[in-house]
Amino acid sequence: MSASKAKVNQADIPVAQQHKFKWTDVLVQVGLVLWAIICLFPVYWMFTFSLKSNEEIFGANVMGLPQNWLWQNYTRALNVGHMGQYFLNSLIVTVVSIIFVLLAAIMATYAMTRLQWKGRKRMNSFFMLGLTIPIHAAIVPLYTTLSRVGMLNTYWALIIPYSAFSLSMGILISIGFMGDIPYDLDEAAFLDGCGVWGIFLRVIAPLMLPAVSTVGIYTFLQCWNELMFATVFISKEAYKTLPVGIQGLSGQYTTEWGPIGAALAMATLPTLLVYIFLSKQIQESFIAGAVKG
Amino acid sequence: MHRPFSYKLNIFLFLLPALILFVGILIAPIAMSAYYSLTEWNGLGIPKFIGLQNYVELFTSKSINIMRALKNAMLLAVLSVCIQLPFALLLALKLSRHVKGERWYLAIYFMPVLISSVVIGQLWIKIYNPEYGALNMFLRSVGLDSWTRIWLGDKNVAFGACLVPILWQYVGYHMLLMYAGIKGMPADLNEAAMLDGCTPAQVSWYITIPYIRPILRVSVIFAVTGSLKSFDMIYVLTNGGPNHATELPSTLMINLLFLRNRYGMGSTIAVMLIVLCFVFAMLINLAFKEEK
Amino acid sequence: MKKLVALMLAAIMLLGIASAVAEDVTLNLWTIAVESDSSYQTFIDAIAAFEAAHPGVKVNHEPTQNEQYKIKIKAAMSAGTDLPDVFFTWGMGFLGEFVAADRVLNLDEYYPAYQEELPVNMTANASYDGKLFGVPYTMSEVVLFANMEILASVGYDHIPTTIEEMNECCDALLAAGITPFGVSGKELWCLSEYLEPLMIKSVGTERLIKLYNGEESWNNPDVIAAVEAFQNLVNKNYFDPNAAALGNDEVKTNFIAGKYAFYQNGSWNCGDIDKSENPAKFQAGLFPVLNADNASLYELIGGPNNTLAVTATTEHKEEAVALAFELGRFMSDADYKSGANLPCWTPDPDAQVSDLVSQVADIAAKSEGMVLFGDNFLSADQANTYLDYIGLAYAGDITPEEFAQGMDDTLYNK
């Protein structure tokens, strides 16, 4: 590393340098704003055309705000497009998956960090294999097994694989958090007469709450947007999740953009709302997932 | 230590849920995939063992044309590493230097990552629509009529058109990782260099970037393996068309499985993908070690 | 004696109860007629009619969207559990894979009761080794729909009858700024609706069947001439230049809106065209003959393909078989009257149908040979390879010779 350069000390301090007006700063600002616009444009466009008629979208008013706010696009997406059902399905699948991942990950983490046994390191690296395995790898066997036991077109067909594929990351994040809990607490609880389960339930689990939100958010985003399994394992209208539902809907309404826009907006809005309130936690869950790996 | 902390049954019980999920849903299916990849099977009846024939056919068959799918995936990987990551790094470096509205930029740049690929794909389908799409309309309005294309239907430009939203969506993700890494640097490291009379560019090059090397490694691994696994956006935008010009290994696999009833061959692609992901992850790790 | 009578009475009562219980049957029916499908209402009506005629039998109708249905039925067939009693299927290759896996009930012993209404020649695509496994209800054929108003604007009062006249007509249309043919380049099967009529009109019915069966090499001048003629349509800009980005529904909408002079596709489009503002300006005809030595105008692409079949594992054989046949009969009739398709069952001679449907029926009546759509004829794997090659030929990526070579690699002697 070339950090040795930093050791050389000089007396004159060019503090003023930071406050001087520079053209490059302006350019940087313009660049940053431009990229922000590029990031926001599709979303802006989606919300505006979700409220427009075909005439406006196709010529009269392509980019502007809608002239007539067509809220019936939304009612159509809800009633004809079954968006409410898809939304509920996504919610059920995601929430149950999160619970499964948390339970399995925190328990396994406890066993691998707080309990003493040979091979716990190896067990950990075994679980970490899951970080590189693409979900495609399991699709045929899962599909045939699920169909054989009659579980295609049920919530379980998604919940079980989603939990399994989010597990490695869940364990990875949990290990980071559990490492921060002082071992003295275990000792104290042990001396108070707690067993392994007592320590886990009364000491460790309550202190893992920050991990719960990080793992939960990460799992949420993995499951909420997943497309491949959801396409293959679910063909019944009643169990379709949002991504599959929207994909099917757009096949039905190739020439009517308004209701499609409304469906897209409805699928995106909850994520955006959550993001507005929890942007910091969400960003941190992604960082935790990657940096600790 | 204390007996209960090593009591075997407890250890086993704590590991049990994770083990059931992990072994049952990940490890066992991979073993089954490996077996299926050696069989000829249409999903009905019993798989017929045919040895390595699927692997031979996979790499020689013109109608499957796996090389085109791999070429597309590699192109995506190369562009991710050479364009997406440097751009993300540039943004991260700028934002970490106390730009006005830093947190706002961060939040906006990261937003596309959170939106479902299906939604983003559907939006880009509309943007690329030859008649009413924003892109062609814009080109026409500035007099560049000759530049208009059937973006997703012309085999010469379709894959390029697909790359744009894929690369665009994840710039924010890599930026966030790098930003977090830079923010995690000890403050005196940067300041000392600044006092030293280094320009910001020099500080970035000699101090910041070497410092966040581990994160760059993670980003490169994610970008490359992510490219190999990529599915959602292409599935939504073109589903591999026109004429398979935008096919990726994953879309090809789904096509073989569910359109052609070739479960054996689909498994062969799955196995190939696992191997490729591991090999590339190892190579990248090695490359980052050697340079040290 | 009393005891005996009492016993007998009890036995009779028990039997009565048993038979009453047995009558209460629920049959599961899987179809592709989702709410947006044109035959959704027909199915509802057909089921109501069946339930009325068979008290105690309930039908549980479960429709699934076309593409997803293919995945769903294959999954169920592969598992062999949770199968419906009666299911919708396409003939030949699609049903054939399930028959080969012994999942479908043989209908030979039930067929004679319906033979008078469902002619034997209609059952060929649902028969394997001479045994019947499905109830075909409607058939379709590829026809050339023409917008006669547009043709009149360039001086034609009929659909061109020779290749030369067709070319002249298309050139005149192009000169007038009208795209001659509407086609979806995005959905490959739509391209096959153009290639296959050319093919049968170049090689003839018998040889086309041999080609699909892999008994004749594709590498012969007649196949190559057909592919050349197909590529000619592309090269001369007779197809919509935006075709690659359009789905079939958009193309159909454009055609009805008067954007193209011709639209060659299945006869099932009659219903949609008849629903347009002025259906009188549309006519159904046929693409001219390419090689008069081998083929005649009335050799057609199409045949009975919409089929109902009964699963081998059904617990209510009699009722399920009755459902398949009676639903088939009802659907055949109703779809014919609504213009959704041509009937496989002998239609009511007094049936009122639109002009367009009667033109299509007339073409079918004059048929001198029919070959099913290639992607239905072939197995799933071969069919997709075949469609890929058609796509490549359309894009000009392969020569007709390369097309023939590719098809030989896929089919010939396989």
Q: What is the pLDDT of residues A137-150, one digit of tens each?
A: 888 889 888 887 87
CB contact under 8 A, C388 and B241: no
> What proportion of chain A, given as a percentage, has pLDDT over 90?
22
Residue A3 forms contact with B (CB below 8 Å): yes
Of C68, C78, C249, the CB nearest to A235: C68
Which of these, C190, C201, C138, C225, lies nearest to C369 by C-alpha position?
A: C201
Residues of A in contact with C78 (CB under 8 A): 144, 147
CA C297/CA C252 separation, integer angstroms: 25
> Measured between CA atoms, how close is B119 to chain A, in angstroms?
6
Query: Beta partners for C302?
Result: C141
Average pLDDT over chain A, rounded to an integer: 83
Q: Where in chain C are all domains bearing CATH 3.40.190.10?
A: 26-140+304-365, 141-302+368-411
pLDDT of B154: 84
- Domains in chain B (CATH in brackets) are 61-260 (1.10.3720.10)
pLDDT of C112: 94
Find all residues with CB under 8 Å of C120, minimum gap 6, and list them: none
Q: Which of B190-199, C92-101, C122-131, C380-389 has the lowest mean pLDDT?
A: B190-199
> What proportion of chain B, given as a percentage, has pLDDT over 90?
45
Burial class (CB in 10 A: 0-12, 13-18, 19+), C193: buried
Backbone angles phi, psi at B185, to 5 degrees: -70, 145
Residues of C in contact with A248 (CB under 8 A): 65, 68
> Measured between CA atoms, how close is A270 to chain C, in angstroms?
28
Q: What DSSP character marks residue C287? A: P
Query: Beta partners for C147?
Result: C282
Find all residues with CB under 8 Å of C91, minimum gap 6, and list them: C125, C126, C134, C136, C303, C304, C305, C307, C372, C376
User: Is B152 within 8 Å of B161 (Cβ atoms)?
Assistant: yes
CB contact under 8 A, A197 and B10: yes
What six digits make up the tokens of A60? 């009269």
Residues of B in contact with C97 (CB under 8 A): 42, 44, 261
In this structure, is the dihedral angle defined by the CA atoms of residues C374, C375, C380 and C386, taken in order, positive or negative? positive
- Reported residue count of chain A is 293
Phi-psi region of C369 (alpha: psi -120 to 50; beta: other; left: phi over 0): left
Average pLDDT over chain C, rounded to an integer: 89
Mean pLDDT of the B62-85 span: 93
Residue B161 forms contact with A (CB below 8 Å): no
Q: How many CB pairs under 8 A join B and C?
A: 68
Residues of A79-93 as b/e, b for ≥16 C-beta within 10 angstroms? eebbbebbbebbeeb
pLDDT of C13: 55
Residue A7 has pLDDT above 60, yes or no: no
What six digits make up the tokens of A11? 């007396």
User: Is B78 within 8 Å of B224 (Cβ atoms)?
Assistant: no
Residue A247 has pLDDT above 50, yes or no: yes
Residue B79 forms contact with A (CB below 8 Å): no
Q: Which of B125-139, C15-29, C365-379 has the lowest mean pLDDT?
A: C15-29
Residue A252 has pLDDT above 80, yes or no: no
Residue B269 has pLDDT above 90, yes or no: yes
Residue B154 forms contact with C (CB below 8 Å): yes
- CATH: 3.40.190.10, 2.60.40.10, 1.20.1050.10, 3.30.1370.10. Which one for C141-302+368-411? 3.40.190.10
- Name the closest residue on chain A to residue B259, using Cα atoms: A232
Tokens 């065209």 found at: C273
Residue A251 forms contact with B (CB below 8 Å): no
Query: In which element (H, E) is residue B228 found?
Result: helix B213-229
pLDDT of C288: 95
CB contact under 8 A, C71 and A248: no
Tokens 């490996």 found at: B34
- Domains in chain A (CATH in brackets) are 21-70 (no CATH), 84-291 (1.10.3720.10)
Burial class (CB in 10 A: 0-12, 13-18, 19+), A176: middle
CA B229/CA B156 separation, integer angstroms: 23
User: Is A253 within 8 Å of A39 (Cβ atoms)?
Assistant: no
> What proportion of chain A, given as a percentage, has pLDDT over 70?
88
| pLDDT band for position A270 (cuts 50, 70, 90) | confident
- Name the closest residue on chain A to residue C70, using Cα atoms: A235
Omega of the bond leading into C349 within 30 degrees of 0 (cis): no
Query: Beta partners for C104?
Result: C311
| pLDDT band for position A119 (cuts 50, 70, 90) | confident
Residues of A in CB contact (< 8 Å) with C are 143-144, 147-148, 150, 152-153, 232, 235-236, 248, 251-252, 254-255
| pLDDT band for position B5 (cuts 50, 70, 90) | low
In this structure, is the dihedral angle defined by the CA atoms of residues A235, A239, A243 and A248, taken in order, positive or negative? positive
User: Is A245 within 8 Å of A88 (Cβ atoms)?
Assistant: no
Of A143, A144, A150, the CB nearest to C82: A150
Average pLDDT over chain B, rounded to an integer: 88
Mean pLDDT of the C127-146 span: 94
pLDDT of C1: 55
pLDDT of B102: 87
CATH (residue range C26-140+304-365): 3.40.190.10
The CA-CA-CA angle for residues B67, B69, B175, to 5°, reads 125
| pLDDT band for position C332 (cuts 50, 70, 90) | very high
User: Is B272 within 8 Å of B73 (Cβ atoms)?
Assistant: no
The CA-CA-CA angle for residues C100, C105, C107, to 5°, reads 115
| A23 or A96: which leads in pLDDT | A96
Mean pLDDT of the B18-28 span: 92
ipTM at complex level: 0.85
The residue type found at B223 is: A
Which of B195, B221, B261, B288 to probe the A interface (max A CBs under 10 A)?
A: B195
Omega of the bond leading into B242 within 30 degrees of 0 (cis): yes
The three-state secondary structure class of C310 is strand
Query: In which element (H, E) is residue C284 found?
Result: strand C282-285
B-facing residues of A in 178-207 (CB < 8 A) are 190, 195-197, 200
Residue B52 has pLDDT above 70, yes or no: yes
Which of these, C310, C328, C306, lies nearest to C319 by C-alpha position?
A: C310
Residue B3 has pLDDT above 60, yes or no: no
The residue type found at C215 is: E
Residues of C in contact with A255 (CB under 8 A): 249-250, 253
Residue B282 forms contact with A (CB below 8 Å): no
| pLDDT band for position B4 (cuts 50, 70, 90) | low
CB contact under 8 A, C76 and A147: yes
Tokens 């977090």 found at: B180
Mean pLDDT of the B134-155 span: 87
pLDDT of A12: 41
